[in-house]
């Protein structure tokens, strides 16, 4: 087995990819599905005046709408049928995850294995429909309140808008599930990834154009590119970082033979919360700006104008609140998705223990202590990655937003997809080695 593993690692190259027909089909299916998604972001809603809407969106692009537009791949800016994107599904998933910690019936479903997960996924779909319907109706009403945006406002426009936008979100949810099942990588994450990456060529071309006209110096553009590469390298290193706890299993006696106890590791990711903390923090901080943009400037209260000004990009108060919210959500979401008590109970049930730590409650306390310490490092890492672009934009005046959240999503999804491709290649080559060994064994028997 050891020699087979060594041969498998040695033979993992591009020729293996050429022979992996199933992997190539999965990649082509994924690319086709993402092309369908991108085409949908250019199909506009019916009954909309594009020029009036473009003018209205330009006034709101610095608020929550700008964040949603980034995640939807520009569909909000074009008011396409995929304008809601996949965000209602993500919001519903997070809400269901939060509820599993406080609702006993959902917590029990979570422990029931595959059947319980299917039921929770079904609840998530119902929640997606509800959230998408509410958001779509709010968009319809908001469009009607704009100046000359809707050609024929009324009940028919609201109903058609709700049906179109909810249908677009449900189609994207289905498309993401199909990519996960028949393609490569996580479908929902790849849809968000495609939306973010689609805006990068235009942003890069705009920056190079500013360099050509002299608005930005060549040295500054090169420095920004170098900094971006360094940040991506830092993200890759931190996302791979783990604290591995040694797990020991006792000796076992089978018949008259005594088998030595096995050992393994419990990996604890440095950033267990992923990209959720920056997304939540950005959404909350952009709400006052969005409300202020929708309000009439003349009728705006003085306190709201002051808050809006203080929470602008690059302002010290914005930086402080952004960092504080990221740290809060890093700890909060980690506590939701990882339960040390359940982990300790599972180890005890299977006979595993951490050397020097008593099984049960003591193990749960130890895991919680270690998890809290590494979460501090993970939260600081998220703050650095998300705030450094803010300082860069404020200091250099770069016209496009190089967001830490978007970089985190792009790098994380890329790493996950590459690891899955490598897993398929390893499985394909392992199957080939097994077939060869069987053929050799058959020839020897003859």
pLDDT at 434: 57
| Helix or strand run (H / E) with residue 432 | helix 404-445
Length of the chain: 446
Assigned fold of 21-202? Preprotein translocase SecY subunit (1.10.3370)
* Domain ranges for the chain: 21-202, 216-430
pLDDT at 56: 77
Q: Are 343 and 352 in contact (CB under 8 A)?
A: no
Specify the CATH class of 216-430 in words. Answer: mainly alpha
**What Å distances lie between residue 15 and 11, 12, 438, CA to CA?**
9, 8, 22
Indicate the DSSP class of residue 45.
P
pLDDT at 10: 43
pLDDT at 379: 93
Joined together, the tokens standing for residue 334 give 């980690």
pTM value? 0.79
> What average pLDDT values come out for the chain (446 residues) when binned by 10 residues?
43 60 87 93 86 77 65 80 87 84 80 80 91 88 79 87 93 92 88 85 78 79 83 89 86 63 83 86 73 57 70 77 90 87 85 85 91 93 86 66 76 86 75 60 56
pLDDT at 4: 42
Q: Is 14 exposed, middle or buried (0-12, 13-18, 19+ CB in 10 A)?
A: exposed
Domains 21-202 and 216-430 share a fold: yes
238: number of CA atoms within 13 Å, CB side?
25
Nearest to 59 by CA among 157, 193, 132, 149: 149
pLDDT at 5: 44
- What are the residue ranges of helices labelled H in 295-315? 302-310
pLDDT at 199: 79
pLDDT at 299: 59
pLDDT at 114: 76
């Amino acid at each position: 087995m050891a020699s087979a593993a060594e041969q498998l690692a040695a033979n993992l190259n591009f020729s293996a990819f050429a022979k992996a027909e199933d992997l190539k089909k999965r990649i082509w299916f994924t690319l086709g599905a993402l092309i369908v998604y991108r085409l949908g972001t250019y199909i506009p809603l019916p009954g909309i005046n594009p020029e009036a809407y473009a003018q209205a969106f330009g006034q709101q692009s610095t608020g929550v709408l700008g964040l949603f537009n980034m995640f939807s791949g520009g569909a909000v800016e074009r008011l396409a049928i995929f304008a809601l994107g996949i965000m209602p599904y993500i919001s519903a998933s997070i809400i269901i995850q939060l509820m599993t910690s406080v609702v006993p019936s959902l917590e029990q479903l979570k422990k029931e294995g595959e059947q319980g997960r299917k039921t929770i996924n079904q609840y998530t779909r119902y929640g997606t429909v509800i959230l998408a319907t509410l958001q779509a109706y709010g968009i319809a009403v908001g469009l009607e309140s704009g100046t000359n945006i809707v050609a024929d406002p009324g009940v028919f426009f609201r109903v058609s808008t709700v049906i179109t936008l909810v249908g677009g979100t449900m189609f994207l949810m289905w498309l993401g599930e199909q990519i996960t099942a028949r393609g490569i990588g996580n479908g929902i994450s790849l849809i968000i990834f495609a939306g973010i990456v689609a805006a990068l060529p235009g942003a890069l071309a705009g920056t190079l154009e500013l360099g050509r006209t002299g608005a930005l110096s060549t040295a500054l553009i090169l420095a920004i590119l170098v900094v971006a590469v360094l940040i991506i390298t830092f993200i890759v290193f931190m996302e791979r970082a783990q604290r591995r706890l040694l797990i020991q299993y006792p000796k076992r006696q089978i018949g008259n033979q005594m088998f030595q106890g096995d050992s393994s590791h419990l990996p604890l990711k440095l950033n267990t919360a992923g990209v959720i903390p920056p997304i939540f923090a950005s959404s909350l901080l952009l709400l006052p700006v969005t409300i202020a943009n929708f309000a009439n400037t003349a009728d705006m209260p003085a306190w709201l104008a002051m808050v809006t000004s203080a929470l602008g990009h690059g302002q010290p108060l914005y930086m402080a609140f952004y960092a504080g919210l990221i740290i809060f959500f890093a700890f909060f979401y980690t506590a939701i998705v990882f339960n040390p008590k359940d982990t300790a109970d599972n180890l005890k049930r299977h006979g595993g223990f951490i050397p020097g730590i008593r099984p049960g409650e003591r193990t749960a306390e130890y895991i919680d202590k270690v998890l809290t310490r590494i979460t501090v490092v993970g939260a600081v890492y998220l703050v650095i990655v998300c705030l450094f672009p803010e300082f860069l934009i404020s200091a250099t005046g770069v016209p496009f937003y190089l967001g830490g959240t978007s970089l985190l999503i792009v790098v994380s999804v890329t790493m996950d997809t590459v690891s899955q491709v490598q897993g398929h290649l390893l499985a394909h080559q392992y199957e080939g080695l097994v077939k060869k060994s069987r053929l050799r064994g058959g020839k020897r028997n003859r």
